[in-house]
Amino acid sequence: MTKERIYLFDTTLRDGQQTPGIDFSVEDKIAIAAMLDEFGMDYVEGGYPGANPTDTEFFTKKRTQKAAFVAFGMTKRAGVSASNDPGLNALLTAKSDAICLVAKSWDYHVEVALGCSNEENLESIRASVAAVVASGREAMVDCEHFFDGYKVNPAYAIACAKTALEAGARWVVLCDTNGGTQPPETREIVSAVIASGVPGANLGIHAHNDTGQAVANSLAAVEAGVRQIQGTLNGIGERCGNANLVTLIATLALKEAYAERFETGIDADRLQELTTLAHAFDELLNRSPDPQAPYVGASAFATKAGIHASALLKDPRTYEHVAPESVGNLRKVMVSDQGGKANFINALKRRGINVAKDDPRLDKLIEIVKEREATGYAYEGADASFTLLASRILGTVPDFFHVESFRVMVERRFDANGNLKTVSEAVVKVIVDGEVMMSVAEGHGPVNALDLALRKDLGKFQSEIADLELADYKVRILNGGTGAVTRVLIESTDRTGARWWTVGVSDNIIDASFQALMDSIVYKLLKNRDQVGLIAAE
């Protein structure tokens, strides 16, 4: 039987950004877009160009390679032509493959929020979609408050959807904006929309999680006929969040009720990276992954009850609804470490490192990684550090240079004008090919000073790191008190546009930063030689 295609639309960078406490920088958005693109999402919605400086800068160039890059914004205002509407023009000038227009589909909102007539709202939808289509971009319309609007005035809600479709929209997305719709209602209303003449192949679902049922509502909509699902990584979003795409992707792929009928752009190999994706995203947000998250949580396949553990040892299927390896996760109770080995072998293979499962060095690597993660390292969010560690254990890494010592000083003083200033200075002693070089630098804080001093003179390697830049620096305190263990995560980039993450852990924030900085530089030198991953397992 030919499977029907479900299209995955990620709105982490737009709707997800409305999560309290989350504020993406341009660099964050670039990194997350690359993660989503590489994983295989069909659409990556980047934000609202023209609404704020961050999103406007983000849309100065296309940020995805394979996924359709989507700009979001409102339909034109009533009484203004499409060509004269500044908001719509900002969308049309953005570097995107598609444009998603949000339109009112609840007549109450049309009257109160827009202050125009129902027909004027339909005309705004019609003209805006036509302008997007004329620009050569794929058009889609988010019918805001569709389910609440349908319950009050079904004829008008459907008229909004039909107007968008007839004007040329590829997708008409039904939004449960308030998040209160129940799955049986979702199924019934979607079926009614399709019966009215809007094909399911052109319908999408956008569910919020205010009753904890965003995933259930999304699946109910799919069962009723929609073929696009909108959601976010780990379910982030305003209020209680959006539909969790991580959970939906695994459910669609692994549950027979859906897997036998539908397919997505995520194949089995990519599915095994689902846990890594979910955890890496949390690390980028500088927060701890939810241990009880479905499929990808650290406790998703763990048990401590004696009778459960005993059954698991006999046959994991007794207490596991899917194999943890299928989503790249681990079983906490295992007869052997074969499941763990399989995950490591796959993770290494994706980095260009091939190693036999019976290679004793693999056992050593697994042991070291587990020991380090117990002390606070998080390699899901630090791919470059993991690659270097694997390369050192499974093969060799050239000793490019050696840092003999470093010293960092912070002085708080009054300058000649009586202004209070804090000055940070670092001194680093580096040995390259037997030659000792000492560098001194001042910076905006001790870590910046250490970074500048470390990269100030690396002898014959200096020209190779001239384009190395630190794009981001995140600190997480892993336990309480002023003597807490600290994890530092550093994102680096160079002129090729490549990005990599390195990690350091210590009870001294400077030492943790130094570890991450060292890994970043060594990774860059290996990358320059096209040796990342290739020097291991020789």
Domain CATH code at residue 27: 3.20.20.70
Specify whether the CB–CB gap between 490 and 520 falls below 8 A.
yes
Specify whether the CB–CB gap between 176 and 221 falls below 8 A.
no
CB atoms within 10 A of CB 150: 26
In one letter, which amino acid is 28?
D
Whether 522 maps to a domain, the answer reads no
Give dist(CA 226, CA 214) in Å, integer: 15
**pLDDT for the residue numbered 498:** 85
Beta strands in 228-343 (DSSP E): 228-231, 262-263
Specify whether the CB–CB gap between 536 and 395 falls below 8 A.
yes
Whether 427 maps to a domain, the answer reads no
DSSP sequence for 350-409 = HTT----TT-HHHHHHHHHHHHHHHHT--GGG-HHHHHHHHHHHHS------EEEEEEEE
What is the phi/psi pair of residue 275, to 5°? -65, -45
Whether 90 maps to a domain, the answer reads yes
Q: Residue 504 in 3-state DSSP?
A: strand
Q: What is the pLDDT along the chain (538 residues), one digit of tens a residue?
A: 799 999 999 999 999 999 999 999 999 999 999 999 999 999 999 999 999 999 999 999 999 999 999 999 999 999 999 999 999 999 999 999 999 999 999 999 999 999 999 999 999 999 999 999 999 999 999 999 999 999 999 999 999 999 999 999 999 999 999 999 999 999 999 999 999 999 999 999 999 999 999 999 999 999 999 999 999 999 999 999 999 999 999 999 999 999 999 999 999 999 999 999 999 999 889 887 898 999 999 788 876 544 444 444 455 555 678 989 999 987 654 333 444 677 778 778 877 888 888 899 999 998 998 899 889 898 878 889 999 999 999 988 899 999 999 999 999 989 889 899 899 999 999 999 999 999 999 998 999 999 999 999 999 999 999 999 988 899 998 876 666 899 999 999 899 888 899 999 999 999 999 999 999 999 999 999 887 755 443 3
- Retrieve residue 421's tokens: 């200033």
Within 8 A by CB and 6+ apart from 261, the residues are: 1, 3, 4
Q: Could you list the residue range(s) of the whole structural domain that residue 182 is in?
A: 4-266
User: Which of 224, 162, 219, 214 has its CA nearest to residue 187?
Assistant: 224
**pLDDT for the residue numbered 332:** 57
Burial 469-484 (b: 16+ CB within 10 A, else e): ebbbbbebeeeeeeee
Within 8 A by CB and 6+ apart from 449, the residues are: 408, 424, 425, 426, 441, 442, 443
Give dist(CA 78, CA 76) in Å, integer: 7
**pLDDT for the residue numbered 305:** 45
**pLDDT for the residue numbered 318:** 56
Q: Across the chain, which distance is largest between two alpha carbons, in Å?
A: 81
Give dist(CA 362, CA 77) in Å, integer: 61
C-alpha distances out from residue 85 to 73, 104, 176, 258, Å: 12, 17, 27, 43
Beta strands in 395-498 (DSSP E): 402-414, 420-432, 435-443, 469-477, 486-493
CB atoms within 10 A of CB 213: 21
C-alpha distances out from residue 272 to 269, 368, 386, 417, 429, Å: 5, 22, 17, 60, 43
**Helix and strand totals (H; E) in the chain:** 19, 16
C-alpha distances out from residue 321 to 295, 315, 318, 326, 383, Å: 10, 12, 8, 11, 29
Whether 454 maps to a domain, the answer reads no
Q: Give the chain's radius of gyration (CA, Å).
A: 26
Q: How many domains does the chain have?
A: 1
Whether 28 maps to a domain, the answer reads yes
Whether 341 maps to a domain, the answer reads no
C-alpha distances out from residue 129 to 133, 154, 168, 187, Å: 6, 22, 7, 27
- Retrieve residue 436's tokens: 């000792």
Which residue has tokens 């002390």?
Answer: 375
Mean pLDDT of all residues in the chain?
91
Give dist(CA 154, CA 198) in Å, integer: 14
Whether 534 maps to a domain, the answer reads no
